[in-house]
């Protein structure tokens, strides 16, 4: 396997079409509803129009929730409300349709794809389509050892790239990106602290299922120790993911980068997807233009990462559970913005101008035909 050079993504990723966005803005100014009266829905529709390279914006018809799953060895320290190695149970709940993410996705008509990257269970306990991309069983305890080897990190990033290609090729027009993990917020906080140059206490939150003060102190210590291991490899994002990330985070990083290459818009969920996005931004600075922040989870590390990427959350509901739930809640908002932009009537003046232009074109064609004859 040839070595994957992350820096190549810089040249592969272009920004959404600025000219199309200006056309969308001009069209919005001619609609009957005054510009600005729909608040952020206007900006959202114009962003989506640029991402689609279409005016008027097309409806979101084929969204997909993609959830990357993994267990993190640092959970052994009691930094999570769930027992270490318990992510497989969460995955089974999603697959059975019994999790919050599964319920919302069913109601919103959003298919869910779960990808096992590093669950701590036997691969044959899960459907082949879930476990088919697994890199390893669990990730290392990042306070004292690497999450994985560099070779495993590269395999995980490549898996994410391949999955993004699969979704783009199948016609998916909007991605909801989330994670299903136990202990995942600790490496996420470490990555964000390392990339933002902050201390452990600034980024350490209480996780999806809030932990008590003692567990939070243990988590701060774990992030502090992991940061000591992260700082020497800050210049190499693959080494950074191997040292203090995890196979799920690495796969999400590759997935986000390739979604930007394939011009596929993504809604980020919580702090884990934000950490992967921040690593991806370090690789390719234009990539965040293809992403939306679905919601504010209340995790300080997420807020730090979104601020660094200049992404403002669409929703603030205090949803902490992860699994793509907060991002799924933003899907109706994106669909509403697209519908309003496309279906609100334009002013009669614009219609008249279009009619007049059409008549003039027709008259010119008739004149030309008469001269030729």
Mean pLDDT, rounded, for 91-109: 97
Do 53 and 70 lie in one domain? The reply is no
Long-range contact set of residues 48-51: C-beta below 8 Å, sequence gap at least 24: 48/265, 48/334, 48/337, 48/338, 48/341, 49/20, 49/21, 49/23, 49/24, 49/341, 50/16, 50/17, 50/18, 50/20, 50/21, 50/24, 51/16, 51/263, 51/265, 51/290
Do 198 and 248 lie in one domain? The reply is yes
Do 77 and 147 lie in one domain? The reply is yes
Do 204 and 344 lie in one domain? The reply is no
Strand extents, DSSP E, 40-136 = 63-71, 112-118
Q: What is the CATH number of the domain that holds 35?
A: 1.10.1610
Q: What is the CATH number of the domain that holds 268?
A: 3.40.50.10210
The predicted-structure confidence for 356-372, as pLDDT tens digits, reads as follows 454 454 555 555 555 55
- Cα–Cα distance, 321 to 252 (Å, whole number): 18
Do 75 and 44 lie in one domain? The reply is no
Q: Which domain holds residue 348?
A: 14-58+339-361
Which residue in 150, 323, 348, 368 is the catalytic one?
A: 323
Do 174 and 27 lie in one domain? The reply is no
Smallest CA-to-CA distance from 265 within 295, 290, 233, 240 is with 290
- Cα–Cα distance, 304 to 296 (Å, whole number): 11
Do 79 and 128 lie in one domain? The reply is yes
Instruction: Say what the pLDDT of residue 13 is.
Output: 97
Do 187 and 242 lie in one domain? The reply is yes
The predicted-structure confidence for 167-195, as pLDDT tens digits, reads as follows 999 999 999 999 999 999 999 999 999 99
Do 194 and 105 lie in one domain? The reply is yes
The predicted-structure confidence for 52-74, as pLDDT tens digits, reads as follows 999 999 999 999 999 999 999 99
Do 216 and 109 lie in one domain? The reply is yes
| b/e sequence 191-201, b meaning 16+ C-beta within 10 Å | bbbbbeebebe
Instruction: Say what the pLDDT of residue 352 is.
Output: 43
Do 49 and 71 lie in one domain? The reply is no
Mean pLDDT, rounded, for 92-109: 97
Whether 8 is in a domain gets the answer no
Kindly report whether the peptide bond that precedes residue 56 is cis, defined as omega within 30 degrees of 0. yes
Is the model's pLDDT at 208 over the cut of 90?
Answer: no
Instruction: Say what the pLDDT of residue 349 is.
Output: 54
Edge-to-edge order in the sheet of strand 291-293: 112-118, 63-71, 174-182, 266-268, 291-293
% of the chain with per-residue pLDDT over 70: 92
Smallest CA-to-CA distance from 91 within 193, 224, 182 is with 182
The predicted-structure confidence for 305-322, as pLDDT tens digits, reads as follows 999 999 999 999 889 888
Instruction: Say what the pLDDT of residue 209 is.
Output: 80
The predicted-structure confidence for 252-275, as pLDDT tens digits, reads as follows 999 999 999 999 999 999 999 999
Number of domains in the chain: 2
Q: Does 323 qualify as catalytic in the annotation?
A: yes
Q: What is the mean pLDDT of the chain?
A: 93
Instruction: Say what the pLDDT of residue 350 is.
Output: 44
Whether 367 is in a domain gets the answer no
Do 137 and 47 lie in one domain? The reply is no
For residue 39, count other CB atoms closer than 10 A to its CB. Answer: 9
Whether 4 is in a domain gets the answer no
Residue with tokens 């490899």: 233
Is the model's pLDDT at 353 over the cut of 70?
Answer: no
Whether 370 is in a domain gets the answer no
Q: Which residues, 6 or more positions from 3, have their beta carbon under 8 angstroms from its beta carbon?
A: 154
């Amino acid at each position: 396997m040839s070595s994957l050079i992350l820096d190549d993504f810089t040249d592969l990723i272009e920004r959404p079409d600025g000219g199309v966005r200006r056309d969308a803005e001009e069209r919005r100014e001619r609609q009957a509803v005054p510009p600005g009266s729909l608040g952020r829905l206007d900006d959202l529709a114009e962003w989506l129009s640029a991402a689609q390279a279409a005016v008027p914006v097309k409806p979101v018809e084929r969204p997909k929730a993609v959830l990357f799953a993994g267990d993190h060895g640092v959970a052994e320290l009691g930094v999570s409300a769930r027992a270490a190695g318990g992510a497989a149970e969460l995955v089974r709940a999603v697959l059975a349709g019994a999790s919050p993410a599964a319920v919302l996705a069913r109601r919103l008509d959003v298919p869910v794809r779960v990808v096992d990257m590093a669950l701590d269970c036997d691969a044959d306990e899960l459907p082949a389509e879930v476990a088919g991309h697994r890199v390893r069983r669990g990730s290392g305890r990042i306070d004292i050892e690497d999450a994985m080897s560099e070779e495993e990190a590269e395999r995980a990033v490549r898996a994410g790239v391949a999955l993004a290609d699969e979704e783009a090729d199948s016609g998916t027009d909007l991605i909801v990106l989330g994670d299903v993990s136990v202990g995942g917020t600790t490496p996420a906080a470490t990555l964000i602290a390392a990339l933002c140059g902050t201390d452990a206490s600034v980024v350490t939150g209480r996780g999806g299922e809030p932990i008590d003060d003692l567990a939070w102190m243990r988590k701060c210590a774990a992030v502090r120790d992991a940061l000591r291991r992260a700082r020497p490899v800050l210049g190499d994002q693959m080494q950074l993911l191997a040292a203090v990330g995890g196979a799920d985070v690495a796969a999400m990083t590759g997935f986000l980068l390739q979604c930007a290459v394939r011009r596929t818009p993504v809604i980020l969920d919580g702090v884990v997807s934000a950490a992967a996005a921040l690593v991806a931004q370090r690789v390719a600075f234009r990539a965040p233009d293809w992403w939306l922040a679905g919601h504010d989870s209340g995790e300080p590390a997420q807020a730090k990462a979104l601020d660094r990427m200049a992404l403002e959350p669409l929703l603030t509901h205090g949803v902490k559970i992860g699994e793509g739930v907060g991002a799924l809640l933003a899907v109706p908002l994106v669909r509403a913005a697209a519908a309003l932009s496309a279906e609100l009537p334009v002013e009669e003046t614009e219609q008249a101008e279009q009619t007049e232009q059409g008549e003039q074109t027709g008259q010119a064609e008739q004149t030309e035909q008469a001269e030729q004859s």
